[in-house]
């Protein structure tokens, strides 16, 4: 259950693929889980999507009242222009977490829970669609918030239940996540479900353009010469570091930026290690994983704290990245939460690691 509560402070949980393979590092040419009419140029129905186990959910029309389990799926709906259909969310985004106008739109969405939405509240919400990120986390229960509704209970309440798969399926994915094809398929499929396929294609095209530019700039750098990179999740605690493994979207972001995740040999999404493990891998660069605090000043303070901890802690002050000042200040959400901003983060990291090659 640690993975879910990791995101509680900012109200974001990991985003996943709605109808693509379970977090694999494929090329994005596989089955996207949507019916033929759902992926047609006209954006017609029916549209069928699958969950991690392959169970199908079919839509004959666009949903009108949507509840999101967390800020990740809420953000995608806002970007697709269907935020007015969202009647409630769990794990709401922290102030300033979403960029620009999206933040103001998100503030208008009713918060059904600051964490996991209680079963009774979810079933009684009046929603006709629930977008769930927690499929792989053993249900929504815990902490007196009630058990997860069964599929029969969802059906009785008139709620279609679908999952965001790059998170829900990530821990048990069959291969490392090395590209953004899963995120792009997520956007495409959610666009098909909500009848916003054209907007989804525009978002995906923008992501692909950014990543392609980085690939062209750094693609000739031999793998063995690419800098090693450690995502320091400062907000997850410093006593025992929580690292991103090869099933986490951050692994793809780091790889596409022309770096090598020092924990890419770890199968899964995250795990806790000892500082001796980080020292043994001695990364060339360290990203200060700080979640958005709601203002530029507050974010700077948090980044400063994370940097100061690395520079003064006996276990980390001798690391190559720390001694050279190779500390990257890019927020956690856009790196570890699958979404449109992953592509921009790829570019930002690459611009730091390859000055002069990437704008």
- Res. 43 pLDDT band, cuts 50 70 90: low
Residue 97 or 305, more confident: 305
Residue 150 lies inside a defined structural domain of this protein: yes
Rounded Cα distance between 356 and 354, Å, is: 6
119/251 same-domain check: no
Paired tokens of 256? 């596409």
Q: Which has the closest alpha carbon to 182: 343, 2, 66, 349? A: 343
Give the structural domain span for 201: 2-206
238/276 same-domain check: yes
Give the model confidence (pLDDT) of 255-280 as tens digits: 999 999 999 999 988 999 999 999 99
Residue 231 and residue 254 in contact, taking contact as beta carbons nearer than 8 Å: yes
307/349 same-domain check: yes
- Res. 215 pLDDT band, cuts 50 70 90: very high
Q: Tell me, what's the pLDDT at 9?
A: 32
Where is mean pLDDT largest: 41-55, 67-81, 142-156?
A: 67-81
Give the model confidence (pLDDT) of 118-170 as tens digits: 999 999 999 999 998 776 444 433 333 347 899 999 999 999 999 887 777 77
Rounded Cα distance between 195 and 202, Å, is: 14
Q: Tell me, what's the pLDDT at 135?
A: 61
Number of domains in the chain: 2
Residue 165 lies inside a defined structural domain of this protein: yes
The per-residue b/e assignment along 96-132, b for 16 or more CB within 10 angstroms, e otherwise, is ebbeeebbebbeebeebbebbbbbeebbebebbbbbb
120/234 same-domain check: no
Neighbours of 285 (CB within 10 A): 23
% of the chain with per-residue pLDDT over 90 = 67
Rounded Cα distance between 260 and 252, Å, is: 10
116/142 same-domain check: yes
Rounded Cα distance between 178 and 98, Å, is: 25
Q: Tell me, what's the pLDDT at 133?
A: 78
Average pLDDT along the chain: 85
Residue 211 lies inside a defined structural domain of this protein: no
Q: Tell me, what's the pLDDT at 107?
A: 93
Neighbours of 193 (CB within 10 A): 29
Q: Tell me, what's the pLDDT at 293?
A: 87
Q: Tell me, what's the pLDDT at 35?
A: 40
Give the model confidence (pLDDT) of 317-343 as tens digits: 999 999 999 999 999 989 998 889 999
230/202 same-domain check: no
Residue 324 is part of a domain; what is its CATH number?
3.40.50.1980
Q: Tell me, what's the pLDDT at 71?
A: 86
What number of residues does the chain have?
359
Residue 139 lies inside a defined structural domain of this protein: yes
236/187 same-domain check: no
């Amino acid at each position: 259950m640690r993975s879910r509560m990791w995101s509680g402070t900012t109200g974001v949980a990991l985003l996943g693929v709605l109808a693509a393979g379970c977090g694999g590092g494929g090329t994005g040419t596989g089955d996207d889980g949507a019916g033929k009419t759902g992926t047609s140029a006209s954006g017609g129905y029916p549209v069928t999507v699958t969950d991690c186990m392959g169970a199908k959910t079919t839509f004959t029309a666009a949903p009108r009242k949507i509840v999101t389990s967390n800020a990740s799926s809420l953000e995608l709906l806002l970007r697709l222009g269907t935020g007015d259909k969202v009647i409630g969310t769990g794990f709401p985004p922290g102030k300033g977490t979403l960029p620009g106008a999206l933040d103001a739109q998100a503030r208008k969405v009713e918060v059904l829970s600051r964490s996991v939405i209680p079963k009774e509240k979810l079933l009684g919400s009046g929603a006709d669609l629930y977008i769930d990120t927690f499929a792989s986390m053993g249900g929504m229960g815990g902490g007196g918030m009630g058990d997860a509704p069964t599929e029969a209970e969802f059906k009785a309440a008139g709620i279609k239940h679908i999952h965001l798969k790059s998170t829900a399926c990530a821990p048990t994915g069959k291969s490392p996540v090395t590209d953004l094809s899963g995120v792009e398929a997520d956007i495409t499929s959610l666009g098909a479900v909500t009848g916003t396929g054209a907007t989804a294609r525009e978002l995906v095209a923008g992501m692909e353009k950014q990543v392609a530019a980085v690939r062209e700039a750094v693609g000739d750098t031999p793998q063995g010469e690419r800098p090693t990179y450690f995502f320091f999740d400062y907000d997850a605690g410093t006593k025992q570091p929580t690292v991103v493994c090869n099933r986490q979207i951050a692994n793809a972001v780091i790889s596409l930026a022309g770096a090598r995740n020092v924990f890419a040999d770890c199968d899964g999404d995250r795990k806790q290690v000892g500082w001796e493990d980080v020292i043994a891998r001695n990364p060339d660069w360290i990203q200060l994983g700080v979640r958005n605090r709601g203002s530029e000043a507050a974010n700077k303070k948090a980044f400063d704290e994370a940097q100061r901890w690395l520079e003064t802690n006996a276990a980390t002050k001798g690391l190559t990245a720390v001694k050279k000042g190779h500390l990257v200040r890019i927020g956690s959400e856009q790196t570890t939460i699958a979404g449109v901003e992953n592509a921009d983060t790829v570019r930002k990291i690459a611009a730091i690691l390859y000055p002069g090659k990437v704008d």
